[in-house]
């Protein structure tokens, strides 16, 4: 099977190179959001009685194609917050996920909870861009970075007051975990084949050093799975497709949270 991740990274590197020609670092630093105080996902996930759900807005994915092209980012994310999301995740990758910077700017203007920029980040320039468009948290994917790159990017993110989720999906990536990465996302989906396996994630979660905050990502579509991950010490649950595939994602989220409470 073709390696989808490599295809995405090649396209992102081309796009970032073009963006650097169009928008200078100084221009990003002048944007209003760049000087705003960021919100802490760590604190949100450690708060009493929080759902732990990082509710995601995404229009499409490489494995499913178009998921929901009619949903409005402002309406959906406001509804996510209203009904108890601990944080919001926004896909900004345009070719495979049909996202954009506009989505994160809209979301961050209507919610008061942390906003995660989910993209394929490999350059300090993208961290400055992330802060400027309103992100509080960024994702670093171990599968497309070396341990040294993770450490350098996470260090720079901290200087910008951005929090970092380091995403891993197999044992070979445990070495990417460092002092600068407190939030560790375990992706249930193999990024090369897009096959989901929750049991492998649970096994991988046991090998994460103590003191790290564990977040389960992908393929979570019922309360039972959340309970299994909670018992394994996970504090966060990144969910998107389960809600976005419905005509009204905000309503689907509300119904899910009501079931969770009961």
Residue of 61, 81, 89, 118 marked active site: 118
Distance CA 108, CA 124 (A): 21
The pLDDT of residue 1? 39
Residue of 56, 93, 106, 173 marked active site: 56
| 2 catalytic residue (yes or no) | no
Distance CA 147, CA 135 (A): 23
Residue of 81, 93, 163, 167 marked active site: 167
Residue of 89, 130, 187, 188 marked active site: 187
Of 36, 88, 35, whose CA–CA distance to 240 is shortest? 88
Query: Which residue range forms the structural domain that includes residue 136?
Result: 4-261
DSSP state of 143: G
| Total of domains in the chain | 1
Ramachandran angles phi, psi of 249, nearest 5°: -60, -40
| 48 catalytic residue (yes or no) | no
The pLDDT of residue 214? 98
The pLDDT of residue 2? 52
Domain harbouring 108, CATH code: 3.20.20.70
| 130 catalytic residue (yes or no) | no
| 98 catalytic residue (yes or no) | no
| 81 catalytic residue (yes or no) | no
Residue of 129, 163, 182, 217 marked active site: 217
SS3 content of the chain, % helix, strand, coil (to 5): 45, 20, 35
| 217 catalytic residue (yes or no) | yes
The pLDDT of residue 29? 98
Kindly report the length of the chain.
262
| 56 catalytic residue (yes or no) | yes
Q: State which residues of the chain have pLDDT below 50.
A: 1
Residue of 151, 188, 218, 235 marked active site: 218
């Amino acid at each position: 099977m073709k390696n989808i991740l490599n295809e995405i990274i090649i396209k992102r590197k081309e796009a970032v190179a073009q963006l650097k020609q169009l928008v200078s670092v100084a221009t990003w630093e002048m944007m209003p959001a760049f000087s705003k105080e960021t919100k802490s996902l760590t604190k949100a996930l450690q708060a009493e009685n929080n759902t732990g759900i990082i509710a995601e807005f995404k229009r499409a994915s490489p494995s499913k194609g178009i998921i929901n092209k009619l949903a409005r980012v402002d309406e959906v994310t406001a509804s996510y917050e209203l009904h108890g999301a601990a944080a919001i995740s926004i896909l900004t990758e345009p070719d495979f996920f049909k996202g954009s910077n506009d989505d994160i700017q809209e979301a961050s203007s209507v919610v008061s909870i942390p906003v995660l920029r989910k993209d394929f980040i490999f350059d300090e320039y993208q961290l400055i861009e992330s802060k400027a468009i309103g992100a509080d948290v960024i994702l670093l994917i171990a599968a497309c970075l070396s341990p040294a790159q993770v450490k350098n990017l996470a260090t720079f993110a901290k200087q910008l007051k951005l929090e970092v989720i380091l995403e891993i999906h197999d044992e070979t990536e445990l070495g990417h975990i460092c002092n600068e990465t407190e939030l560790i996302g375990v992706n249930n989906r193999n990024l090369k084949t897009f096959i989901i396996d929750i049991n492998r994630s649970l096994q991988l979660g046991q090998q994460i050093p103590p003191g790290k905050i564990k977040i389960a990502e992908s393929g979570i579509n019922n309360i039972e799975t959340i309970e299994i991950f909670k018992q394994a010490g996970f504090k966060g649950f990144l969910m998107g497709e389960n809600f976005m595939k419905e005509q009204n994602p905000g309503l689907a989220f509300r119904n899910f949270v009501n079931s969770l409470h009961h």
